[in-house]
Amino acid sequence: MTQATAFIALGLLFLLGLAADMIGHRTRLPRVTLLLVLGVIMGRPGLNLIPDPAIEGFAWLSTLALSMVAFLMGGSLERARLKAYGRDILAVSLAVVVASVVFIAGPLILFGVPPELALVLGALATATDPAATHETISAKDREKPFAGKLEGIVAIDDAWGLIVFGLAIVVAQSLSGPTGWAILFEAFREIGGAILLGMLVGFPAAYLSGRIKRGEPLRTEALGIVFLSSGLAMYFEVSFLLAAMTVGVVVTNFARHHRFAFAEIEGFRWPFMVLFFLLAGASLDTQAFLNLGFLGVAYVGLRVVARLIGGWIGGTIAGSPPVERRWFGPALLSQAGVAVGMALVAAQSFPEHANTILTLTIGATVVFEIIGPIGVVLALRRVKAASSSQDADL
């Protein structure tokens, strides 16, 4: 791709992002969903107007965008929020992860899917996309209890998902051959290493925050912290998402001027998110996904059911208000980069199922990225309406 073509492609992509903003304001549809749909229309599945080299740069861009989102999600785990909503966050996140495995792997096995493949697909379904969730929640809604719980849940459920994924791979391999306990060890190493790395970067960052320009962390300072943690995580082959999130947790709880750092990232990330969601839609191989037939439909349908059941069970255990229990599930449908990363590992572990695993995960990710933000918006509106009704009755 020539330099001129690259600039033309970038200009058109940013203008598509602007169009999504305009349509979103007029229709009240989530702009994340609109960006993905526009990506599907303009990319390989549709008019094929986005150059292939731009789409091939999606992996690098997704790391960049998700690092910033992970840092912001870590910032949502303040002591005050954890004290107020910790029970809900823990119960719902664990219940949704367990339900995703049980209510996907079980029925798929009954439908005749090989047990090892069914287990892997159930584990892949545990991942939730923090980016789509965060982008869909408005600044005004972010102060409400339900939105606070959602951000806390999506911030930590990928950690549970990685643990469950490691266990599922071990069990699946024991069904088809020698057990690879190294996979489970690797999952714990990735999680523990990411958290340790995040703390090693986070505590010095929290202490130094706002000292270059007294009381006001610079944008370059905030970006340096985020990208350093992600780069080191990739170098040491641990989760860059968990590392960046851990930095966010440490900074928000220990930095004196922590809010400035998050405000700098918040104001900078959107152009990258525009490219991220557009290219995610543009990269979908529609025909390969449709060729999966029943398996693709069953996976999508069962994951929706699993999220509804898991959200309700977790909310019940936590003692959440009844309306929140009903809407946790619809608000947790999004699925993104972590699932694709796990799919790449699973494809290496089960080469005989590699094509099915990768095609299904990528296709389902785009589907859930389109419908997931709609679920978040509906959930926020219904919970808000129910809360307003209760306040009026009082």
Q: What CATH class has 60-266+294-384?
A: mainly alpha
pLDDT (tens digit per residue) in 305-344: 999 999 999 999 999 899 999 999 999 998 866 677 677 6
Cα–Cα distance measured from residue 25 to residue 69, given in angstroms and rounded to the nearest whole number? 23
Domain ranges of the chain: 60-266+294-384
Residue 207's pLDDT band, with cuts at 50, 70 and 90, is confident
pTM of the full predicted structure? 0.74
What pLDDT, in 10s, does the model give residues 168-181? 777 777 666 555 56
DSSP per-residue codes, 64-99: HHHHHHHHHHHHT--HHHHHHHHHHHHHHHHHHHHH
Residues 182, 190, 123, 128: what is their CA dihedral angle, to the nearest 10 degrees? -170
Greater confidence (314 vs 255) lies with 314
C-alpha–C-alpha distance, residues 15 and 35, integer Å:
11
Please state, rounded to an integer, the average pLDDT across all residues of the chain. 79
- Here the tokens at position 250 are 């440490």
Measured distance CA(147)–CA(348) in Å, rounded: 37
With a cut of 60, say whether residue 40 has pLDDT above it: yes
Q: Give residue-wise pLDDT tens across range 264-309.
A: 676 667 777 777 777 777 777 777 777 888 898 999 999 999 999 9
